[in-house]
Every structure is written in C-alpha cells, then in structure tokens.
C-alpha cells in the first residue's frame, strides 16, 4: 500500500505531479493559440470586408466610366 507522502503512478510510470504540470502547460498553450486564432480571424474578416468594398467601388467606377467613355471596360482591362 502507498503511504501518505508517497506518490502513485498514473497511466504507467509518469508521476501524478508531472501529468498535472503537463496538463496545465497544454491548457496555457491552448489559450495562447485560441487568442492568436481569434486575432487572425479578425484580420481576415477585415481584409474580406475591405476587398468587398474595393470590388464594389471598382464596379461603380466602371459603370460611371461606361457612361463617359464608350469602351471603358476594355480600356481598363488592358491597363490592368
């Protein structure tokens, strides 16, 4: 039998304190990665919104130019 001060091995030969320390480290790492993921998702959402606005602005500009210039779309496609 184990005495009061003696540690029991859990899941093989790994002491309980070591497993607890590893779990705490993994939990801390998980929180760090979740935070980084959230920041990356926020940047991605901002980028997608910005690109959507740019595409809308380009479409509006091409509509305006088609009123002013006969072959506006061709002229701007060749320039790009």
- Please write the tens of the pLDDT for every residue from 35-62: 999 999 999 999 999 999 999 998 898 8
Separation between Cα atoms, residue 46 and residue 41, nearest integer Å: 9
Q: What is the pTM of this model?
A: 0.58
1 pLDDT more than 50:
no
Pick from 2-11, 45-54, 66-75: least confident:
2-11
From 79, 26, 21, select the one nearest 69 (Cα to Cα): 79
Phi-psi region of 50 (alpha: psi -120 to 50; beta: other; left: phi over 0): alpha
Identify the bridge partners of residue 9 per DSSP, sorted by sequence position.
15
């Amino acid at each position: 039998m184990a005495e009061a001060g003696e540690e029991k091995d859990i899941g093989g030969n790994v002491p309980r304190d070591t497993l607890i320390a590893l779990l705490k480290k993994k939990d801390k790492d998980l929180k760090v990665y979740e935070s980084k993921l959230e920041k990356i998702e926020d940047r991605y959402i901002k980028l997608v919104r910005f690109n959507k606005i740019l595409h809308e602005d380009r479409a509006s500009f091409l509509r305006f130019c088609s009123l002013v210039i006969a072959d506006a779309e061709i002229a701007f496609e060749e320039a790009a």
